[in-house]
Structure 1
Amino acid sequence: MTPGIPDEYFIRGNVPMTKEEIRALSISKLRLKEDSIIWDIGAGTGSVSIEAALISKKGVVYSIEKEEEGIALVKENIKRFNVENIVVVAGEAPDALLDLPSPDRIFVGGTGDKMYQIFDIAAAKLKEDGIITVNGITLDTAYSAHNYFKQRGYSVQTICVNVSVSKEAGDKTIMTARNPVYIITAKKREG
């Protein structure tokens, strides 16, 4: 399976899911290794967890989700994709992060209203040379995440991704735009 697994391959419900194009870019920004320890905060359906687990086959993905429907969907998708290196963490960040092992990589797909508290714990527990990738759909999230990590000495890059997908309209094809997504990547510097 290659990165950017088609969305329709996942069991979906009413919880958010990182779309395949954004997922592929976000995962590429994480620079996963075969043995990476990864946190997926706000896992939703588990699409990022699944792809990360398939790449980091000798590592472990901690899939953190607070919603009951999301937890069930992550578990269903784990079975569907037959991955064994995902640990589902049922709980709300930041509290659900406290007892997890220190990660090499962190993906933040959702923070609710606890972004800074989550970032504080993530920054404290992230290993040297670790990478955090944050997806946001608002300018506020992009600015806040970029600024937070920059002020703490991380190497930070923010990109804005605009994706349009073809759709049949009678005998013609049109392009339908999806919401732009900001992908903020922060690399922890040695020190």
Structure 2
Amino acid sequence: MWQYMTPGIPDEYFVRGNVPMTKEEIRVLSISKLRLKEDSVVWDIGAGTGSVSVEAALISKKGVVYSIEKEEEGVRLINENIKKFNVENVVVVGGLAPDALLDLPSPDRVFIGGTGDKMYQIFDIVTTKLKEDGVVVVNGITLDTAYSAHHYFKQRLFTVQTICVNVSVSKEAGNKTMMISQNPVYIITVKREG
């Protein structure tokens, strides 16, 4: 289904429903910030449709991606997208984080696309279980999420970089082309110092 070595599967390739999905351009940047290796153990927390899980699994072919999602519809969509893209190294974990994370193996990389109202509890588990050279990428659409994530990890002596991404996508309007802007997204990249 996806024959390229780079991330960036078009959104319309995924089976979608009424759960959030990390859009293509944001997904490309977020996956790039994860610095995935061929054998990475990845947690995708708040996986939605599984778009990040699928792309991570295609890159980390010898690794395992744990796709954590609390919504039943999301779990169904993740399973459909796993089949559609023929990835066999994704383990779907239906449940609410942070409890759903407790029995998972320690990750090399963590993508956090959603935390609900359990942000700090999830961050606590992630920082406890993250491997020594691990990387965490948090996506947020509010200033509150960006500030909270940045502050939390900085206080725990992680190296933190936050970028704000504004994407506009072209759309035909009669015989003209206009640019339609999407919501800005904060991408917070976290690494252990030293």
- TM-score, normalization by structure 1: 0.99
Aligned residues: 190
Q: Which residue of 1 aligns with 2:76?
A: 72
- For the pair 1:58 / 2:81, whether they are aligned, the reply is no
Equivalent position to 2:134, from 105, 108, 130? 130
Equivalent position to 1:169, from 163, 170, 173? 173
Q: Which residue of 2 aligns with 1:182?
A: 186
Letter in 1 for 2:102: L
Letter in 1 for 2:12: E
Q: Which residue of 2 aligns with 1:30?
A: 34
Q: Which residue of 1 aligns with 2:93?
A: 89
Structure 2 residues without counterparts, runs of 5 or longer: none
Deviation at 1:189, TM superposition (A): 2.9
Q: CA RMSD in A?
A: 0.6
Determine the C-alpha separation between the residues in 2 that align with 1:185 and 1:51: 18
Q: Secondary structure of 2:107's match?
A: coil
Determine the C-alpha separation between the residues in 2 that align with 1:105 and 1:147: 20
Determine the C-alpha separation between the residues in 1 that align with 2:102 and 2:24: 30
Letter in 2 for 1:54: L
Deviation at 1:146, TM superposition (A): 0.5
Letter in 2 for 1:176: I
Q: Secondary structure of 2:117's match?
A: coil
Percent of pairs identical after alignment?
Answer: 82
Letter in 2 for 1:94: P
Deviation at 1:188, TM superposition (A): 1.6
Deviations 1:102-137 (A, max 9, x none): 000000000000000000000000000100000000
- TM-score, normalization by structure 2: 0.97
Determine the C-alpha separation between the residues in 2 that align with 1:188 and 1:33: 17
